[in-house]
Structure 1
Amino acid sequence: MEELYQSYKGYAFSIAYRMLGVVADAEDAVQDMFAELQHRDRSGIQNIKAYVAKGVTNRCLNMLNSARSRRETYIGEWLPEPVSEGYDGPEAAAERNDSLSYAFLVLLERLSPTERAVFVLREAFQYDYEAIAGMVGKSESNCRQIFSRAKRILQTEPSSRFPSPGYGTVTENLLVRFTAAFTAYDVGGMLELLGEHPVLVADGGGREVHTILRPMTGRRGVTALLTSRRVMHYLREWKHSYGMLNGEPALIFTVQGEVRAALCLSADRSGESIQNLYLLMDPAKLSRITMPPELPQS
């Protein structure tokens, strides 16, 4: 059992994290699945990897259904919890692709729990529809329809809450340029960096931290917010470092070594402009961020 756990815990976590967007919940789903596996007869399991995927997926579906009502009463916007580079361990290296990016996780919030499960299993883990049908308790044809519907949903025009489809990865250079404009209150520099329809979303943890309650959209509004000397001025007073969150460069703010905020960005299709900005200030979603070596400052 210990060998199975060491072999598949990273894989199970990589599924659970994409399903739930919360590290502690993903860990609970994985632990619960392995606890059940330990007490059952495993001689009849022909494909242990598929069994692990099914077990953790079903637990995540239950957790997502119960979480939806809580998120509806959440004060402000709810954003997924970012993970530091390598948090899920070397076992999940094969699954570290675009489906781990922070913007992708935010996009998945558009989907229902079942749509999310089918889409993640198909898109991120390349399971065929027959296998997915057995995991989510639907017919194969139904799973095909669910996946097509989920894909259409994710390809629709952006709303005030979700990022635009077709995002690109933010480069280290783009992040450094953004930081320079942000810290200098540089309106012109910020306008040069923002895409055509930028969206800024902040998550303070419901009641935990006072921050922006509603998404800010549009170049004028986002620029005004980011260059205001009254709003978010405290971010400029904190030390900032460049780290890797969800496999991409991000800006991390600390006070005496304690992470107080993290800013994840996504680029537009060209990769040259910033399209979406996600400011995390919920202490519960920052506690697991480790501080890796900093990226180059220039």
Structure 2
Amino acid sequence: MDAQTALFQQHRQRLFGLAYRMLGTPSDAEDVLHDAWLRWHAQNLDALDDPEAWLVTVTTRLALDRLRRARTEREHYSGPWLPEPWIADADQPEAQLERAESLTLSFLLLLERLSPDERAAFLLREVFDYSHAETAVMLGIGEDACRQRVHRARQRLREARPGRSAPDANRQYRLLERFAEALRQPDLDTLRALFAEDAVHVSDGGGLVTATLHPLHGADRLARLYMQIAVHQRGQDVRHEIHQLNGTPALLSWQGDTLISASWIDDDATGIRAIHALRHPGKLARLAAVTKSTGPASLH
């Protein structure tokens, strides 16, 4: 491996983590890294005072351009859009990224509330710990403008989850176990008891499979929805398994060898506050290819 390639590989984990948090899709993050590598390969290293800063700057700006295009495309997306889970092989250095709270699917979805510019500034400053001055240079803006973007981003995120505590993986695992059992043995009261009064259901089918086109609200409505789903799935060889997705438990539902949904939750002491159901066949096919070899998660 030549020195230029070795240096890129040295920073690859950080670059991928940044691009994925910006875009919410592993394939898009890999495309950004490929473009960054091409520019890096054409770069004269002797002209660089700080190779890491150069790589982070290029990756951020490429991800920004792609995110702006994606936002325009998603205006025509059928129903809600959900981020795509990412699972690294255990021997890949990126695998440790899954343990970061800022990489959870719920947090990635929360980042969708930010503008692309706010998202980039927030991630560079709050997640990757660059100073305001460093972040400003990477984004090509003034330091005051950078501080304003980070401040607005923090404020938007606080407003989106007031008073919410950090995810409790063990509690989520237990809730998903009860939820899976309620789907196997459908009972409306049992399902109803799992949800907080103001619970919300969001489903991403991409217009390709049956999915709710708008968020559904309220424990009663969600219980009836999942009662209908469970009754419909009777006799269809559907099984449910709990896996780790982006560091938190998620319920994967299989029909034979086909992954038909991947669901993760937000919760608190009152129960499930939000359930996100990924049903887009393309996203699920990529996820199925890696989860088949990882095996279900266990409570610990």
> Normalised by the size of structure 2, how large is the TM-score?
0.88
Secondary structure class of the residue paired with 1:168: coil
Q: 1:101 to 1:235 in 2, by over 3 A?
A: farther
Secondary structure class of the residue paired with 2:159: coil
**How does 1:1-298 map onto structure 2 within 5 Å?**
1-84=4-87, 86=89, 89-91=92-94, 93=96, 96-157=99-160, 166=165, 168-171=167-170, 172-205=173-206, 207-228=207-228, 233=233, 237-268=237-268, 270=269, 273-289=271-287, 290-291=290-291, 292-296=294-298
User: Between the two proteins, what is the percent identity of the paired residues?
Assistant: 34
Using the alignment, how far apart are the partners of 1:88 and 1:66 within structure 2?
33
Moved over 6 A (4+): none
Select between 66-75 and 229-238 the one with higher mean Cα deviation: 229-238
Secondary structure class of the residue paired with 2:110: helix
1:132 Cα deviation from its structure 2 partner: 0.7
Question: Match for 1:202: what amino acid?
Answer: S
Query: Does the aligned pair in 1 maintain the 2:184–2:230 contact within 8 Å?
Result: no
Secondary structure class of the residue paired with 1:244: strand
Using the alignment, how far apart are the partners of 1:294 and 1:146 within structure 2?
40
Question: Match for 2:228: what amino acid?
Answer: S
Using the alignment, how far apart are the partners of 2:255 and 2:230 within structure 1?
19
Select between 229-238 and 175-184 the one with higher mean Cα deviation: 229-238
Secondary structure class of the residue paired with 2:47: coil
Using the alignment, how far apart are the partners of 1:48 and 1:185 within structure 2?
57
Secondary structure class of the residue paired with 1:228: helix
Question: Match for 1:284: what amino acid?
Answer: G
Using the alignment, how far apart are the partners of 1:40 and 1:297 within structure 2?
48
Q: 1:229 to 1:131 in 2, by over 3 A?
A: closer
Q: 1:116 to 1:28 in 2, by over 3 A?
A: same
Query: Does the aligned pair in 2 maintain the 1:254–1:261 contact within 8 Å?
Result: yes
Tell me: higher relative CO, structure 1 or 2? Use CA pairs within 8 A at least 6 residues apart. Answer: 1
Query: Does the aligned pair in 2 maintain the 1:204–1:211 contact within 8 Å?
Result: yes
Q: 1:106 to 1:253 in 2, by over 3 A?
A: same
The aligned length equals: 291
Q: Give CA-to-partner distance per residue, 1:41-92, whole Å, 9 cap, x none.
A: 1113232222221111100110111111210111111111111255893146
Q: For structure 2, which runs of at least 5 residues remain unmatched after alignment?
A: none
Question: Match for 2:204: what amino acid?
Answer: D
1:259 Cα deviation from its structure 2 partner: 2.2
Using the alignment, how far apart are the partners of 1:214 and 1:94 within structure 2?
31
Query: Does the aligned pair in 1 maintain the 2:25–2:84 contact within 8 Å?
Result: yes
Output the aligned Cα RMSD: 2.6
Using the alignment, how far apart are the partners of 1:108 and 1:218 within structure 2?
24
Secondary structure class of the residue paired with 2:114: coil
Using the alignment, how far apart are the partners of 1:273 and 1:219 within structure 2?
10
> Which structure has greater helix proportion?
2
> Normalised by the size of structure 1, how large is the TM-score?
0.88
Question: Match for 2:260: what amino acid?
Answer: R
